[in-house]
């Protein structure tokens, strides 16, 4: 669990530095900065789907998961929860939810996350998560300077998610085969591309309603 703890601290530290940078950023600069972050998110998403396999399962998972999320109205519920958090902690940030979701997906959906937590859960080295922590530190700095405190708050779901994966790996490491890891990475890449489109304000996509597809792809790849 050491790797996950270090990763969480790295996100909080990087995000905190980003918040300081944000305070001194003129509005003219923040506009072009958002565009850069949007392109960066698109680029990360594209690199994650380059080696995509099991295309039919990926597409099916995205369709089923999106319909499930729409039926559950996940986006509306998450926005309401976000509004409660902002009200309770007196957070004045219009992009709080967007920053939290963007950061969480960037930090948690990828092969390094899954492989690193499995390796640590099986009693191996934490080096992979340490490397990821360094990358997430700088990413959190960039994202927080654009989105604000939502990026720092993303450290909480990051810790929970990676801790659960580590515990699962301790008891069921064989569950995470290469196909499941690749499926999660590919689908995560598609969602990041959607987030990039949202950040660039090309079109508003309900990415949060698509999150159940990450669970669906794991189930389908395990079955088939």
pLDDT, tens only, 50-69: 888 889 999 999 999 999 99
Among candidate residues 19, 57, 110, the one with its CA nearest the CA of residue 216: 57
- Does any domain span residue 217? no
Integer angstrom CA distances of residue 172 from 35, 121, 122, 162: 41, 10, 9, 15
* Average of per-residue pLDDT across 64-75: 94
User: What pLDDT was estimated at residue 53?
Assistant: 87
Within a domain: 86: yes
Position 205 pLDDT exceeds 80: yes
Closest CA to 185 of 153, 160, 138, 221: 221
All residues at 6 or more sequence positions from 218 whose CB lies less than 8 Å from its CB, including other chains:
180, 183, 184
Give the model confidence (pLDDT) of 36-48 as tens digits: 888 988 998 899 8
Within a domain: residue 9? yes
Number of domains present in the structure of the chain: 1
- At 101, list the tokens: 């979701």
Residue 81 domain boundaries: 2-51+75-181
In a domain, 127, yes or no: yes
126 within domain boundaries: yes
Q: d(Cα 219, Cα 224) in Å, to the nearest integer?
A: 9
pLDDT at position 90 over 90: no
Q: What is the pLDDT of residues 117-159, one digit of tens each?
A: 888 888 778 888 999 999 999 989 988 988 888 899 999 999 9
């Amino acid at each position: 669990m050491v790797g996950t703890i270090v990763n969480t601290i790295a996100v909080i530290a990087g995000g905190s530095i980003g918040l300081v940078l944000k305070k001194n950023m003129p509005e003219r600069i923040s506009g072009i900065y958002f565009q850069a972050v949007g392109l960066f998110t698109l680029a990360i998403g594209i690199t994650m789907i380059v080696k995509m396999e099991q295309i039919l399962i990926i597409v099916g998972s995205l369709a089923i998961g999106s319909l499930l999320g729409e039926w559950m109205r996940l986006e509306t519920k998450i926005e309401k929860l976000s509004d409660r958090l902002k009200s309770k902690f007196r957070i004045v940030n219009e992009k709080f939810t967007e920053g939290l979701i963007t950061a969480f997906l960037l930090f948690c959906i990828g092969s390094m996350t899954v492989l690193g937590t499995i390796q640590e859960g099986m009693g191996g080295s934490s080096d992979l998560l340490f490397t990821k922590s360094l990358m997430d530190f700088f990413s959190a700095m960039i994202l927080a300077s654009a989105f604000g405190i939502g990026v720092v708050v993303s450290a909480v779901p990051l810790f929970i998610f990676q801790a659960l994966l580590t515990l699962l790996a301790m008891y069921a490491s064989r569950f995470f085969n290469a196909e499941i890891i690749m499926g999660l990475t590919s689908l995560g890449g598609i969602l990041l591309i959607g987030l990039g489109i949202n950040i660039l304000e090309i079109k508003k996509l309900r990415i949060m309603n698509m999150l159940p597809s990450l669970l669906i792809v794991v189930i389908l790849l395990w079955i088939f």
